[in-house]
Amino acid sequence: MVITGAGIVSSMGTGWSENAAGFRAGRTAFREVDLFDTSRQRVGSAGQAEVPEEAPAWAGARTWSRMDRGSRLAWIAAQEALGQAGLAEDGGAMPILVGTSAGAMPLGEAYYRQAVVGGSRRGQFSRVERYQPQRQLTSMARELGLHGPLRIVSNACASGANAIGQAFHLVREGRAARVLAGGYDALSQLVFAGFDSLQALAPSGIPRPFDARRDGLAIGEGAGFVVVESLASARERGARVLAEVAGYGAATDVHHLTQPHPEGDAALATMTTATRMAGLEPRDIDYINSHGTGTPLNDIAEARAIARWAGDAVGGVAVSSTKSAIGHLLGGAGAVEAVICLMALDGQWLPASLNIREPDEACIFDLVREPRDSGVEAVLTNSFGFGGANATLVMRKEVAS
Amino acid sequence: MSRIHVSGLGAVSSAGWGVPALMEAVATGRRPEVSLLERETAGGEVRATEVLRVPKPADRGVIPRSPRLRRASTVGKHAAAAAAEALGPERLAAAQAGGFRLGVISTLMNGCVNYSNRFFGEVLEDPSTASPILFPETVYNAPSSHLSAMTASTAPNDTLVGDGAEYFTGIDLAAEWLLRDDCDAVLVVAAEELDWLSAEAMGFYARALVPSEGAAAVLLEKDASGPVLLAVPDGVSYAGEADRCRALGRVVDGLADLVGPAGDTGILLSDGRTGVARFDRAEDEVFAGWAGPRVSLRTQLGESLGAAAGLQTVVAVESVRRGEVAKALVTSVGGNEGVGAALFGA
């Protein structure tokens, strides 16, 4: 199972090149949110992406105008992934697996505002219909010329990784030659206020995953998509292989609805499953793109899980959280971070956990605090979500024979 | 190849709590009493929507005791009750004791709309005082997470969002997990709850649709006892086939070897017709010559969105289990994603 195409949009930029340049340079991409009023909240900034109002040249203007912000992000990333895979003109019957946590929430918010006021119902049917993610993604599929079944996974912040993992299984078991898989989420007032209500957002607006005095996360938005394909299919098409998807693990943390088990039990389970499936040992993993939200509870649980998983090899395992640069993309995070891992494999460099002042003492691994050149053959990416959804993907540069 | 069996069923519907209440309603054809869901707009206008609610349970014990359910919204409680019924007390205890790996798949269209409504109302009022207790319960996968917590299961747990045909994707994924040995058993649960937000929204599609709520749970296991999952064909997406008749036709054609063009007198059709002609046209036309018995649950118990296909499935499987029919075909023509189906047999 290999990846033959990848696409990405984040607050760092649109497309592989802009994002790769930004992560390689160690840039952060946060700004004041101007999509809704944040004046009564503890935090007013986020990783807000540039989303064009006008349809890109390759997109149908009418469909674009009917899409919500998140679906536009998804479409941009999916288009890039298919283009890179050489499938922009003929995606055919490939299934589509997409992770999202909030779907088209801003449209639901608009519906709510008008319904509460009462009076006119103008535009309300359109909002109801377009609020549904399956409606938006079916439209996207039609525009992309993809006719296969659609599956929307909504496992909170693990959704994108789960979607890629499930695509991996579909191809591995011969149910599809190739699958378009990814995840997306856009900023919305409800979700932003929700994380603020939990006091999970960093008051400074600067997330510092794995810092000893970290105080929360920053929300971001964006999308990541990949084409997962059988090696035979890729070779038959003469497609360039970006990486092999070598392992996937999924498990459930039942400790608490919003808090991980303090020792990271479920994370340990998914990391172990994914590396075993890949036929690798922890010492073979050159880089971990951690879930690394920057909240006190998440980072320490993940650090402990990594230490337990790696054992004696932990000191040699390079770890960073790219949420320090673009924020937490929720349902899109796992897919976007998988694409960042592909960039690391492709460019042979490691992205960093930025803005760390003093690492938490639980970080006994090699915490990457500045981007650096490095030999990268195998990577692992973790995604954890509300509800205890845990997922790990392992990818490697060289395809196993 | 291993066969996948349905070893347990659970249901919460406008007919009542439990599979017996659902089956009795189907047998009698009795429609539950419609009630009014009223609310007042900021402008003082009272808006009322006719709905088919899940009645209050006569026995509060149908909702399992679990710390997670204290704060759970109605949809979570519906899901938990259906799941507990499907498992039964012995299997529930065994799962909680770690006796087997229980996967959970939840499918829904609407989700925790009640808490979303309340939380966003608080946000608009003043985001600085919006409740941190409500927000986590607004997330699509909260009900599914509660089921894993209730059963103490760390096996995979997925929430799938889609239109009225999404339940079959859940069945398909469960079969995949079982055949790959990811789990020993999988609960596939579909649950929804009523709220004025979604109830009024349904009126934009057709005034004749009566919004409803409930939950369905199917417990699937490999090489167990109970009715067999004979087939769950790939759904047909409207992205590739916008015509619903042709989309349904393609799904049914894929089952032709097992069902035949018009079924036979021993095959139950548990379809997704709603009572609204334009939504029902595909199933009316494709199954115009259906030879066997036919149940259109939504016309009787209301449109419970993501839960409806699950409840149709419970009726189908229970009919097979009781020996009333040899096979049962369940279909749903979704509103804006695609068509799905599943076939069960003795």
User: What pLDDT is attached to residue A401?
Assistant: 55
How far apart (Å, rounded) are the C-alpha atoms in residues B123 and B217?
Answer: 34
Closest CA to A225 of A136, A332, A317: A332
CA dihedral A9, A12, A15, A18 (to 10 degrees): 180
Distance separating alpha carbons of residues A50 and A73, to the nearest angstrom: 9
Measured between CA atoms, the residue of chain B closest to residue A126 is B204
Q: How confident is the model at residue B9 (pLDDT cuts 50, 70, 90)?
A: very high
* Mean pLDDT, residues B220-238: 95
pLDDT of residue B223: 86
Task: Give mean pLDDT, residues B301-317.
Answer: 98
- Cβ–Cβ gap B204/A124 under 8 Å: yes
Tokens of B80: 């938990």
Q: Is B30 helix (H, G, I), strand (E, B) or coil?
A: coil
Residue B312, φ and ψ in degrees, nearest 5: -60, -40
Is pLDDT above 70 for B222?
yes
Mean pLDDT of B179-206: 97
**Residue ranges of chain B that CATH labels 3.40.47.10:** 4-222, 228-345
Q: How many CB atoms lie within 10 A of CB B152?
A: 14
SS3 at position A190: helix
Question: What six digits make up the tokens of B261?
Answer: 């063009």
- Partners of A269 on chain B (C-beta within 8 Å) are 154
The answer on pLDDT for B22 being more than 80 is yes
Q: Which two tokens stand for residue B198?
A: 């979604």
**Residue A210: alpha-carbon gap to chain centroid:** 19
What is the rounded radius of gyration, in angstroms, for the C-alpha atoms of chain B? 19
Signed CA dihedral, B174, B175, B176, B182: sign only: positive
Whole-angstrom distance between the N-terminal and C-terminal Cα of chain B?
17
Q: Domain A2-396 in CATH: superfamily?
A: Thiolase/Chalcone synthase (3.40.47.10)
Residue (of B108, B123, B158) closest to A188 by Cα position: B123
Using the predicted structure, report yes or no on whether residue B2 has a pLDDT greater than 70.
Answer: no
Q: Nearest residue of B to residue A268 by CA position?
A: B154
Based on the residue annotation, tell me whether A291 is a catalytic residue of this protein: yes
Q: In chain A, what residues touch B43 (CB-CB under 8 Å)?
A: 117-119
Do residues B218 and B86 lie in contact, with contact meaning Cβ atoms separated by under 8 Å? yes
Q: Could you say which of B127, B169, B334 has the minimum Cβ distance to residue A193?
A: B127
Q: How far, in Å, CA of A332 to CA of B268, rounded?
A: 42
Query: Rounded CA gap, A280 and A284, in Å?
Result: 6
Q: Are B165 and B87 in contact (CB under 8 A)?
A: no
Cα dihedral across residues A270, A271, A276, A277: positive or negative: positive
Name every chain A residue with its beta carbon within 8 A of the beta carbon of B135.
193-195, 197-198
CATH fit for domain B228-345, picks 3.40.50.720, 3.40.47.10, 3.40.630.10, 3.40.50.300: 3.40.47.10
Is the CATH number 1.10.760.10 carried by domain B4-222? no
Q: Which of A157, A261, A341, A363 is catalytic?
A: A157
Contact: B157, A156; criterion CB under 8 Å: no
Inter-chain residue contact A149 with B68, CB threshold 8 Å: no
Q: Tell me how close the Cα of B201 comes to any Cα of chain A, in angstroms.
A: 7
The pLDDT of residue A89? 81
Residues in A closer than 8 angstroms to B42, CB to CB, are 116-118
d(CA A247, CA A270): 10
Q: What is the pLDDT of residues B45-86, one digit of tens each?
A: 999 999 999 999 998 889 999 999 988 999 999 999 999 999
Pairing of strands B214-222, B35-40: unpaired
Distance from CA of A373 to the nearest CA of B (A): 36
User: In the A/B pair of chains, how many CB contacts fall below 8 A?
Assistant: 206
Instruction: Determine whether the interchain pair A386/B132 forms a contact, defined as Cβ–Cβ distance below 8 Å.
Output: no
Would you list the DSSP string of B51-78? EBPPPPPSSGGGSPP-GGGGT--HHHHH
- One-letter amino acid at A102 equals A
CA-wise closest residue to A223 among A4, A12, A2: A12
Domain boundaries, chain A: 2-396
What is the CB neighbour count within 10 angstroms for residue B28?
A: 10
Inspect the interface and report whether the beta carbons of B47 and A118 lie closer than 8 Å. yes
Strand ranges (DSSP E) for A84-143? Answer: 96-99
pLDDT tens across the length of chain A (401 residues): 999 999 999 999 999 999 999 999 999 999 999 999 999 999 999 999 999 999 999 999 999 999 999 999 999 999 999 999 999 987 889 999 999 999 999 999 999 999 999 988 999 999 999 999 999 999 999 999 999 999 999 999 999 999 999 999 999 999 999 999 999 999 999 999 999 999 999 999 999 999 999 999 999 999 999 999 999 999 999 999 999 999 999 999 998 888 899 999 999 999 999 999 999 999 999 999 999 999 999 999 999 999 999 999 999 999 999 999 999 999 999 999 999 999 999 999 999 999 999 999 999 999 999 999 999 999 999 999 999 999 999 999 977 65
What is the structure's pLDDT at B36? Answer: 97
Q: Can you give A238-253 as a three-state secondary structure string? A: CCCCCEEEEEEEEEEC
pTM of the model: 0.97
